[in-house]
């Protein structure tokens, strides 16, 4: 922890007062209690809209399971949200599914299959990895077979589903409201919070990665 505190203190000298205030203001509300996972999303506008919605709801990581397509958000659509949201890219296979589950997440696929629970009625009691499928096919059968449960958004018209980025927005917002109203300690612990602030600081700096890497080398720190 002391190394993290020293690192963050060092990086602050490269930030404007306004940027530092923003980091300190928004960081405490961040959470990894809900981890959005997307399967092979290929439209860059959808990728960007997902990142933007995730950040707006105070969740600052997306796992992109890639197979045929790379998850590449359109920076014009993200409106700067890509500065704050970490995108972890993993191959779309069973090893990656298990990797996520091993981190302590219940796997919840957003799909009408397998006696899905509807979002308004869903009770979130433990960390969940919320899996969204591809634009055309939805959640894959592999994920459905692996998932602990499924979650669905009620539909009131002829259309059977929302666009993936819209579905992500609705789910992330609704789940955030449920967490706020609960007694769950859903926010980041002290170490995770510091690591996120460091990442935000580096992303806010000109030549941030180079400055950060040099600092780590000079001080023999691991991050």
**Binding-site residues from annotation for S-adenosyl-L-methionine:** 153
Q: Residues 184, 187, 192, CA angle at the centre, nearest 5°?
A: 140
CA dist list (Å): 28 to 23, 38, 107, 221:
9, 25, 25, 25
Q: How far apart are CA 174 and CA 124, in angstroms?
A: 11
CB within 8 Å of 180: residues ≥ 6 apart: none
**Binding-site residues from annotation:** 153
Widest CA span of the chain, in angstroms? 61
Q: How many residues does the chain have?
A: 223
Q: How far apart are CA 54 and CA 45, in angstroms?
A: 14
Which two tokens mark 70? Answer: 């790379």
CB within 8 Å of 59: residues ≥ 6 apart: 30, 31, 32, 33, 34, 35, 36, 172, 176
3-state secondary structure of 62: strand
Q: How far apart are CA 145 and CA 44, in angstroms?
A: 28
């Amino acid at each position: 922890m002391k190394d993290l505190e020293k690192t963050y203190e060092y990086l602050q000298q490269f930030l404007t007062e306004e940027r530092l205030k923003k980091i300190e203001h928004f960081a405490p509300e961040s959470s990894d209690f809900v981890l959005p996972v997307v399967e092979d999303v290929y439209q860059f506008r959808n990728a960007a809209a997902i990142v933007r919605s995730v950040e707006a709801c105070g969740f600052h990581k997306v796992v992109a399971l890639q197979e045929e397509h790379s998850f590449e958000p359109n920076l014009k659509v993200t409106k700067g949200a890509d500065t704050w949201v970490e995108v972890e890219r993993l191959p779309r296979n069973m090893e990656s599914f298990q990797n996520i589950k091993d981190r302590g997440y219940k796997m919840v696929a957003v799909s009408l299959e397998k006696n899905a629970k509807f979002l308004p009625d869903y009770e979130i009691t433990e960390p969940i990895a919320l899996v969204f499928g591809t634009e055309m096919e939805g959640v894959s059968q592999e994920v459905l077979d692996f998932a602990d449960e499924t979650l669905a958004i009620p539909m009131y018209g002829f259309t059977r589903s929302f666009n993936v980025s819209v579905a992500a927005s609705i789910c992330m917002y609704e789940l955030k409201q449920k967490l706020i109203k609960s007694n769950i300690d859903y926010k980041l612990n002290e170490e995770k919070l510091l690591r996120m602030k460091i990442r935000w600081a580096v992303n806010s700096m000109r030549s941030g990665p180079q400055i950060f890497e040099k600092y780590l080398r000079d001080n023999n720190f691991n991050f």
